[in-house]
């Protein structure tokens, strides 16, 4: 069953065509990789899925709903969580608060409930807190709860972004270069984390990543972008041996 369908997505910035009629289909509980050289349009695709950019053409369908014109916050509430390539944490908030903010889209308490401390909103606060602590333990930041997010190391910040996205109880998680800046031990830990998230929480994950080792190891399906065009789509073994992919991308690395 497809959870996400991108149909003929096109995106133009001024004269630049960053995405050129791209079709992608992601199945439920898949770990789906998107690879391609710098500037291929990978991040742009994430921004379109999450409602940050309005595509010039095409459709984004998530669980049979058209997302195209939805606001970013509304898309998030549909159950799509994401991380950012250039880390976007709430720097002057504590690690714990970063994750608690992540639950905003799946909680209810309003203004008056909050200032009056009504029972409903106190109960909700408690669940939000428990959830946040669980998630911080999951990504291994349990002992840094009260640090400012900006004081974390790079790899920790990336994991905090994952925890924050998970607080939304997403059914689809988008990770934009989660391994960037990590050393190989950290990368191993990350791979393990991604596996666990998917298996224990029955999530679908789309991963943009430059580390081929990680991508080939972990992804079940991979799409390759090049200059805004999709040039290949298939399981790792197929993509790895595709002529055009080797030429335009893998070849360059080898």
Ligand X SMILES: Nc1ncnc2c1ncn2[C@@H]1O[C@H](COP(=O)(O)OP(=O)(O)OP(=O)(O)O)[C@@H](O)[C@H]1O
Which residues lie near ligand X (CB under 6 A)? 13, 16, 18, 36, 38-44, 85
Q: Are 186 and 192 in contact (CB under 8 A)?
A: no
Q: Does the protein bind another protein through residue 89 (CB under 8 A)?
A: yes
- Candidates 105, 155, 178, 228; binder of another protein (CB under 8 A) is 105
Q: What DSSP character marks residue 41? A: S
Nearer to ligand X, 36 or 105 (CB): 36
Position 168 contacts another protein (CB under 8 A)? yes
56-85 residues near another protein, rule: CB under 8 A: 71-74, 76-77, 81-82, 84
Q: Does 43 bind Mg ion (CB under 5 A)?
A: yes
Give the nearest distance from C-beta 168 to another protein in angstroms: 6
User: For 169, left (φ over 0), alpha (ψ -120 to 50), or beta?
Assistant: left
Binding of residue 164 to another protein (CB under 8 A):
yes
Nearest to 51 by CA among 171, 219, 174, 212: 174
Burial of 11 from C-beta contacts in 10 A (0-12 / 13-18 / 19+)? buried
Contact with Mg ion (CB under 5 A): which of 5, 10, 29, 85? 85
Instruction: Write the burial class of residue 116 (CB in 10 Å: 0-12 exposed, 13-18 middle, 19+ buried).
Output: exposed
Helix (H), strand (E), coil (C) string for 140-192:
CCHHHCCCEHHHCCHHHHHHHHHHHHHCCCCCEEEEECCCCCCCHHHHHHHHH
Shortest Å distance, C-beta 225 to ligand X: 7
CB 60 within 8 A of CB 236: no
**Pair of tokens at residue 243:** 């002529």
Q: In the complex, what is the shortest distance from the CB of residue 40 to another protein, in angstroms, rounded to a whole number?
A: 15
Q: Which range of residues in 28-36, 90-98, 180-188, 209-217 is near another protein by CB under 8 A? A: 90-98
Cβ proximity to another protein, 80 vs 231, nearer residue: 80
List of residues contacting another protein (CB under 8 A) = 13, 43, 47, 50, 52-53, 71-74, 76-77, 81-82, 84, 88-94, 97, 100-107, 109-111, 113-117, 121, 124-125, 128, 146, 164-165, 167-168
List of residues contacting Mg ion (CB under 5 A) = 42-43, 85
């Amino acid at each position: 069953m497809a959870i996400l369908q991108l149909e003929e997505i096109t995106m133009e910035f001024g004269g630049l065509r960053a995405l050129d009629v791209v079709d992608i289909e992601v199945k439920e509980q898949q770990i789906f990789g998107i690879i391609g050289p710098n500037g291929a349009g990978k991040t742009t695709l994430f921004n379109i899925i999450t409602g940050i950019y309005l595509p010039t053409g095409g459709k984004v369908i998530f669980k049979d709903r058209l997302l195209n014109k939805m606001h970013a916050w509304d898309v998030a509430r549909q159950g799509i969580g994401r991380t950012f390539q250039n880390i976007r944490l709430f720097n002057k908030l504590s690690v714990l608060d970063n994750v608690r903010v992540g639950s905003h889209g799946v909680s209810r308490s309003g203004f008056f409930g909050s200032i009056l401390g009504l029972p409903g909103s106190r109960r909700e606060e408690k669940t939000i807190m428990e959830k946040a602590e669980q998630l911080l333990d999951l990504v291994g930041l349990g002992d840094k709860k009260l640090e400012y997010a900006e004081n974390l190391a790079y790899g920790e910040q990336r994991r905090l972004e994952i925890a924050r996205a998970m607080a939304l109880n997403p059914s689809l998680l988008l990770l934009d270069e989660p391994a960037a800046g990590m050393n190989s031990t950290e990368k191993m830990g990350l791979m393990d984390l991604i596996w666990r998230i998917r298996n224990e929480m029955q999530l679908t994950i789309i991963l943009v990543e430059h580390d081929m080792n990680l991508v080939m190891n972990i992804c079940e399906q991979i799409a390759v972008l090049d200059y805004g065009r999709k040039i290949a789509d298939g399981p790792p073994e197929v993509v790895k041996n595709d002529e055009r992919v080797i030429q335009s991308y893998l070849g360059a690395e080898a």
